[in-house]
Amino acid sequence: MRFLFKTDYEDDIRLVPHSGYVLSYGALFVLLIIAPYVLSSYLMSQVVFVCIYATVGVALLILTGFTGQASLGHAAFLAIGAYTAAYLQQYNVPFPVYFLAAGLLTGAIGAIVGFPALRLQGIYLVIATISFAFIVEEILARWESVTHGNEGMRVKTIQWLGTTVPRDSPAFYFLCLAVLVLTIVGALNLLRSPTGRAFIAIRDSETAARSMGINVSLYKVKSFAISAGITGFAGCLFAHKLSFISPEMFTLQLSIEFIIVILIGGTFSLHGAVLGAIFIVMLDPFLTYLKDDVPGMVGSLAATLGAGSERAGHIQDSVAAFASANGLKGAIYGVIIVLFVLFEPLGLYGRWLKIRLFFQLFPLYKRATFKRQKIYVKSERNR
């Protein structure tokens, strides 16, 4: 086991705590660079979605995980980013300009949303962000001169300085990856800066933060603006990846998916956003696999175990019927959320930490290390 001796504050907030990080993240970086030349184009497209979802996940982590302000309205921020990009693109605005505009405008709107949200807490904030998202969705559907209403908008491929970047090319993947990496590095730097420390203080106790001289309102609005801005950048990429956007893509369902991303990944670390995004996006290929291959496998397994061919065929059919049943995806989503909340509240990254600690401390690992405290007095109502 490695012991890190920290002798001053600089040691505590270093981006790279020890040399092991360079090695493991370097290896990951090399894998990501060679990925487009190894993986199939379908998988590559899923990886691009992982990058976009993870970017939104990082944005949501800054707001929900580190400032403690739950939001179920991030699909609206994504929509604002996507529509800004699509609208400006019609007037031949170059890509970097409308990319920046998408992020900045969304950030500004996020700050405007942040002001009313100052007075709200917990469940009220969740409901208010849901309402905000509904209103944005309705505006997108009705403001036809700008958004083309329910017909949706086409988004052309990225063109800049004479080069085109099609949405399924490796170059587009590298663009998304670069945005994700920059977002993560930016978020890491933010979180070790005074601003990030203030966010965490607000999450842990607003009253304590205020008595330490933190301007709570200012930092909450900042957190909203930063989170919305990052989501706006992701929205621009999202629009390009889909090449067509319409209001019904940005529903409550999508906001919930983003929350699931950080819930499954783990809400206490930026690793969670990436792990959760991988989980959510790769669920689709997994379900397709389930639909196509598993019935045959179960059927042949039944046959080898001695079931008659007619019986095996029957088993195969019923498994196929179950796998392709309408709404199976929703049921799986529901079960996954409930199971994670009940049994793995720290998410996938928490599970990794537990496994790592288990081997580091073997055989002295105690499960109680990660036990959460239960509070039975009504604290949140009076906070």
Partner 1 sequence: MLDFVQQLVSGIALGCVYGLIALGFVLVYKATEVVNFAQGDLMMLGGFFAFTFIGILGLNYWIGFAAAVACMAALGMLAERLVVRPILGYPQFSIIMATIGLGYFLRSIAGMIWGTDDFKIETPFSQGVLRIGSLVLAYDKLSVIAATIILCALLYLFFNKTTLGTAMRASSENMLAAYYMGIPVKRVVSIVWAISAAVATCAGVLLAPITFIHSNVGLVLGLKAFPAAVLGGFGSIPGAVVGGVLIGVIESMAGFYLPEGWKDVAPYIVLLLVLLLRPQGLFGLPMRKKV
What does the binding site for partner 1 look like in residue numbers (CB under 8 A)?
64, 70, 116, 119-120, 122-124, 126-128, 130-132, 134-135, 138, 141-142, 207-208, 252, 256, 259-260, 263, 267, 325-331, 333-338, 341-342, 345, 372, 374-378, 380-383
Q: Which is nearer to partner 1, 90 or 253 (CB)?
A: 253
Q: Give min distance, CB of 314 to partner 1, in A.
A: 20
Which residue's CB is nearer to partner 1, number 290 or number 328? Answer: 328
What is the nearest approach in angstroms of partner 1 to the Cβ of residue 23?
35
State the minimum distance, in angstroms, from the CB of residue 188 to partner 1.
Answer: 23
Decide whether 94 or 122 has the Cβ nearer to partner 1. 122
* Burial group, residue 98, by CB count within 10 angstroms (0-12, 13-18, 19+): buried
**Pick 156 or 329: Cβ nearer partner 1:** 329
Min. distance of Cβ 257 from partner 1 in angstroms?
11
Distance of closest approach, residue 13 Cβ to partner 1, in angstroms:
26
Closer CB to partner 1, 40 or 326, in the complex? 326
